[in-house]
Structure 1
Amino acid sequence: MKILHRFIIGLWPLLAVVACTQDLELSPVSSMTVNSFWKTEDDAKGGLYGMYGRFRDQAANNLYFWGGARSEELSYGLQASEGRERYFENTLDVNYAGPNWLRLYTVIHDANLILKYVPAINFVNEEDKNEILAQAYAMRAYVYFIMSRTWGDVPLSLEPTEGYGGESTFRARTSVEEVFAQIKSDIDQALTLFPGNAFPSGRSIWSKPAVNALKGEVYLWTAKRMNGGSADLTAALNALKEVQNADVALLEDFDRVFRYDNKGNQEVLMAVHFEDLESGSNYNNSMYIRGDQIPVNTTEEVKAMLGTGGGLNRWAPSEELRNQFVEEDQRKDVTFVEVYTYDEGNNASYYASAVLKFRGFEDAGARKFMDDVILYRYADVLLMMAEAKNGLNQDPSAEINEVRQRAYGDDFDAHVFTGGTQAENDVAILKERLLEFAFEGKRWWDLVRFGKAFERVPSLQNRSGQEHLLLFPISESTMSLNSKITQNPGY
């Protein structure tokens, strides 16, 4: 698949044209006829490129809004938040509901086109065809996984929308149980079609190890949220163990996992590719500090950590999150920086904080926020294994300690994890996930999966029992486009 990957990367500059065209559409109805497309290998590869391009549009900002922004890791920044506070304050409603699902259905539409037409195309190498189909199944599964965790019941579309018709264009919501059954089926199809555990160059398209990581997370969700119990925990653990047969490892230096000049490293399983001159910036652009707002009366160390300022500090690491890190944890200075100012008497005052994990790079006096958005990495596999093991009353210590060994380095002996009760272990695993994956778009979904959102998120602590808040509302605009769509109860 190296040839296919180069083909996809070579087409990234066309993304702007594709995106602008897509923005004009009210529903993902195909405008390409079968007579003009879906005839050759290059057509299949172009269709695959379009699918990844449209998914990158969603990963730039929306994926974090859905998966991370409602958690305890964020608070107000220096700039006006422009409505972003509605996420961490958990005040979303039908008029301010967050990103809707329309553009996710364009990604599903692309996957459905591939799955419908690529099987009939003749390929020189049948494995190339199978890998394209596997990636389409994987992407469809992942997008429906996003949607089901975000809204619960969602319309289930398994065929491309190729004409305007009542049944094909306007669908009612399908039960979350049926959607998850389809997610699991698509994952199984993808795993069957991938020929082996090899990663593509850049690790920015779906592969068998990445799909096994997805399978692990899906089955953890259904085990804990949908009464899947031990059977689903076992399926999750087995899938995650399969990942370890691939070329994966923790990098020694936590910071190097995220650097722009080290994309597709050995820890990464699947990332969404962002590239200078090919794509715009992503959500990290709203978590840094503009150069003219870096105070002159802060320390030289902080100035060096921030380097060239950039972006806007519209939301920032919360005090709740910052207080979870201890000084010996090497992830702290990689994840965020606290900025203090000092008066003439050297008295410190808190000024701001910024996310450093995805700080991009400096170019000609400007900062560009184009780090990849990582969907899965090996540390995630280890901590999901620990979670599954703990649910099965097995010892999760080895996996937790492998992650902590890197985090604490020479101070590891003071932070060795020793197993306790199942409940105590779950608390430790959930906290370790916060420290390891802060600002990676995982925290909200982690809290929901562990059943701790009402306990850990300050804005939800006095709202226990309002279970509808674990889902997003359906926007008024979404319901106005399709009269068959009903609102989530409670909104």
Structure 2
Amino acid sequence: MKKSIIKMGILAAFLTVQSACNTSLDLDPTSVITNASFWKTEDDAKGGLTSLYVKQRSLASLNLFIWGEARSEVMEWGKVSGTLDYDRYYLNTLSSVSAGPSWQAIYSAINDANLILKYVPTISFANESDKNNLLAQTYVSRAFLNYILVRTWGDVPIRTEPVEGAEPSVIQKERSPQTEVFKLIKEDIEKAISLYASYGFIKSRNYWSKAGAQALKADVFLWTAKRLNGGTADFQTALGACDEVAKADVSLLANYADLFKYGNKNNKEVIMAIGNRELESGNNYFYNLYSARLPNEVDPSTNEIIGQTAGGMVWTVTDLAKNQFKVGDLRKAASVLDLAAPGFYPTLILKGRGTVISGVRYFTSDFVIYRYADVLLMKAEAKNGLGQDPSAEMNQVRQRAYGSNYEANKFVNGSKVANDAAILQERLLELMFEGKRWWDLVRFGKAFELVPTLEGKSSLKHLEFFPISEQVLSLEPLVKQTSGY
């Protein structure tokens, strides 16, 4: 145990040096010496993978929500606290000097993946399948990270070599076309799938698995089908990937609200979730969606639902999004709560409110990357893209959503355009606050139509992406700002 702790300390120091290498070409490349002493054993490899997962968790604590949902029609000011500058997202006033989270943390995680992929193949494992699983998780992690990049910024630098010294050719990269980035993403996914031994989950659903890789594959190919003219071939690949996910031990839970109960993590609907535990990680983005200021007049039944409160509540759900829940949709009560109390109190977001321990609320709900309902809706989207009837998948989701009110809300196949609109709205209601909405709007080509702060700006296509911050531009001279910003 002592040896493992020492090695993890070396890894942390090594990664810190690496990060510094990205900001200066004059540093002595001491990480080369550290590499020579570190990447020797199976424990070293597992330590490297742990570091990669920790960095993905850090991204999920806030940034994935900012990039994946904050600019959509879902969010607005909470009117309880300040804005923490989050208004630049839902008002869509981003600029190079107010660009939001930079890509540096993503590339730091990618660098961890690149180190693993360089050194682990030469390390002996007691069980070769363990080695293959570790490499598979690394490939799918790198694909996922690059997928975040390309959806958020479009053309981005491709980094497949770890930064270990001060060579400018490794550190400084130009932006590569999206087509090249997606080529790498798809290659990494296929390598991952080929390395997994089965559709079983590894330890828990907080690790990338073969089912998770297939879910990511479906997502990626739907994006390229619609955004990069992938058309029929990509829709067909996405459809096949959705069918592959179903080979794993996954299914819809009978009760939608059970998905988000703190004691029900890693349930059968979850395919991949980034894990959080109290006293192990800090609060995630739900902290700012849950108010610490509630009226003394809250009735006992409401107070029992809310429980101990904490948080700043700098933003909340818009009426535009919330009011799209129809009467009888059971998902609304599991997602939001309007307080029946005197005065004005914003809607509380219930999905990720964590747990209460000794009177303190810890916002440590897992960040779900993929769950089976998401895959069913991706399958419906792929089928519709191929001119097939998506009713079966849509109605699996709606049956749970409406319960006894299902027959009045049953999906009926229509035109491709009408079906796409219905699928997009269903994704809003099913996946609200799960970091999906902005990217869904961009994929479906509806951001300028459905986001009020973007109405009338459809000619400004650069607004579908985030700008690159002045800090990144100063550190990476080969990187040019997105045209339009």
Tell me if both proteins adopt one fold, taking TM over 0.5 as the criterion.
yes
Match of 2:109 among 107, 110, 131: 107
Q: Note if 1:378 corresponds to 2:379.
A: no
Name the structure 1 match of 2:221.
Answer: 219
Match of 1:483 among 465, 477, 485: 477
CA distance in structure 1 between the aligned counterparts of 2:337 and 2:185, rounded to whole angstroms: 39
> The residue matched to 2:347 in structure 1 has which SS?
strand
CA distance in structure 2 between the aligned counterparts of 1:23 and 1:275, rounded to whole angstroms: 28
CA contact (8 A) 2:17 2:31 kept: no
User: 1:124 offset after TM fit, Å?
Assistant: 1.4
Identical aligned pairs, as a percentage?
A: 48
TM-score, normalised by the number of residues in structure 1: 0.93
CA distance in structure 2 between the aligned counterparts of 1:85 and 1:265, rounded to whole angstroms: 34
Note closer, same or farther for the CA distance 1:23–1:378 as it changes in structure 2 (3 Å cut): farther
Name the structure 1 match of 2:153.
Answer: 151
- How do 1:92-103 residues align onto structure 2 when only pairs under 5 Å count? 92-103=94-105
CA distance in structure 1 between the aligned counterparts of 2:163 and 2:105, rounded to whole angstroms: 14
Cα displacement string for residues 455-482 of structure 1 (whole angstroms, at most 9, x for unaligned residues): 1111111222111100000000000001
Note closer, same or farther for the CA distance 1:30–1:62 as it changes in structure 2 (3 Å cut): farther
Q: Note if 1:266 corresponds to 2:260.
A: no
> The residue matched to 1:269 in structure 2 has which SS?
strand
> The residue matched to 1:211 in structure 2 has which SS?
helix
Match of 1:396 among 379, 390, 402: 390
Structure 1 stretch 54-63 or stretch 210-219: which is displaced more? 54-63
Structure 1: which amino acid aligns with 2:392? A
CA distance in structure 2 between the aligned counterparts of 1:277 and 1:21, rounded to whole angstroms: 23
Unaligned runs of 5+ in 1: 1-6, 343-348
Structure 1: which amino acid aligns with 2:38? F
CA contact (8 A) 1:27 1:102 kept: no
Structure 2: which amino acid aligns with 1:51? L
Structure 1: which amino acid aligns with 2:334? V
User: 1:23 offset after TM fit, Å?
Assistant: 9.8
> The residue matched to 1:430 in structure 2 has which SS?
helix
CA distance in structure 1 between the aligned counterparts of 2:259 and 2:203, rounded to whole angstroms: 16
CA contact (8 A) 1:340 1:350 kept: no
User: 1:27 offset after TM fit, Å?
Assistant: 4.6
Q: Note if 1:49 corresponds to 2:43.
A: no
Structure 2: which amino acid aligns with 1:230? T
Name the structure 1 match of 2:303.
Answer: 303
User: 1:288 offset after TM fit, Å?
Assistant: 0.3
Structure 2: which amino acid aligns with 1:308? Q
CA contact (8 A) 2:72 2:437 kept: yes
CA contact (8 A) 2:21 2:165 kept: no
User: 1:102 offset after TM fit, Å?
Assistant: 0.5
Name the structure 2 match of 1:198.
Answer: 200
Structure 1: which amino acid aligns with 2:234? D
CA distance in structure 2 between the aligned counterparts of 1:99 and 1:176, rounded to whole angstroms: 20
Name the structure 2 match of 1:64.
Answer: 65
Name the structure 2 match of 1:3.
Answer: none
User: 1:263 offset after TM fit, Å?
Assistant: 1.2
CA contact (8 A) 1:30 1:161 kept: no
User: 1:36 offset after TM fit, Å?
Assistant: 0.6
Cα displacement string for residues 313-362 of structure 1 (whole angstroms, at most 9, x for unaligned residues): 110011111111123111101101112433xxxxxx65311110111111
Name the structure 1 match of 2:338.
Answer: 338
CA distance in structure 2 between the aligned counterparts of 1:73 and 1:473, rounded to whole angstroms: 21
Structure 2: which amino acid aligns with 1:248? V
CA distance in structure 2 between the aligned counterparts of 1:34 and 1:297, rounded to whole angstroms: 60
CA distance in structure 1 between the aligned counterparts of 2:44 and 2:386, rounded to whole angstroms: 46
Structure 1: which amino acid aligns with 2:330? Q
User: 1:410 offset after TM fit, Å?
Assistant: 1.2
User: 1:310 offset after TM fit, Å?
Assistant: 1.0
Name the structure 2 match of 1:415.
Answer: 409
User: 1:18 offset after TM fit, Å?
Assistant: 4.4
Name the structure 1 match of 2:168.
Answer: 166
Note closer, same or farther for the CA distance 1:307–1:99 as it changes in structure 2 (3 Å cut): same
Cα displacement string for residues 109-150 of structure 1 (whole angstroms, at most 9, x for unaligned residues): 111011111111111111111111111110110000000000
> The residue matched to 1:36 in structure 2 has which SS?
helix
CA contact (8 A) 2:70 2:89 kept: yes
Name the structure 1 match of 2:426.
Answer: 432
CA distance in structure 2 between the aligned counterparts of 1:362 and 1:391, rounded to whole angstroms: 45
Structure 2: which amino acid aligns with 1:62? N
Match of 1:139 among 126, 138, 141: 141
CA distance in structure 1 between the aligned counterparts of 2:97 and 2:30, rounded to whole angstroms: 29
Cα displacement string for residues 190-237 of structure 1 (whole angstroms, at most 9, x for unaligned residues): 011111100123211110000000000000000000000000000000
Name the structure 2 match of 1:75.
Answer: 76
Note closer, same or farther for the CA distance 1:395–1:19 as it changes in structure 2 (3 Å cut): farther
User: 1:37 offset after TM fit, Å?
Assistant: 1.2
Structure 1: which amino acid aligns with 2:476? N
Cα displacement string for residues 336-391 of structure 1 (whole angstroms, at most 9, x for unaligned residues): 1112433xxxxxx6531111011111111121100000000000110000000001
- How do 1:208-247 residues align onto structure 2 when only pairs under 5 Å count? 208-247=210-249
Name the structure 2 match of 1:326.
Answer: 326
Note closer, same or farther for the CA distance 1:427–1:311 as it changes in structure 2 (3 Å cut): same
User: 1:20 offset after TM fit, Å?
Assistant: 12
CA contact (8 A) 2:316 2:349 kept: yes
CA contact (8 A) 2:250 2:372 kept: yes
CA distance in structure 2 between the aligned counterparts of 1:270 and 1:363, rounded to whole angstroms: 26
Name the structure 1 match of 2:26.
Answer: none
CA distance in structure 2 between the aligned counterparts of 1:371 and 1:27, rounded to whole angstroms: 34
CA contact (8 A) 1:334 1:357 kept: yes
CA distance in structure 1 between the aligned counterparts of 2:357 and 2:58, rounded to whole angstroms: 23
TM-score, normalised by the number of residues in structure 2: 0.94
Match of 1:444 among 438, 441, 445: 438
> The residue matched to 2:133 in structure 1 has which SS?
helix
CA distance in structure 2 between the aligned counterparts of 1:322 and 1:85, rounded to whole angstroms: 19
> The residue matched to 1:25 in structure 2 has which SS?
helix
CA distance in structure 2 between the aligned counterparts of 1:316 and 1:431, rounded to whole angstroms: 19
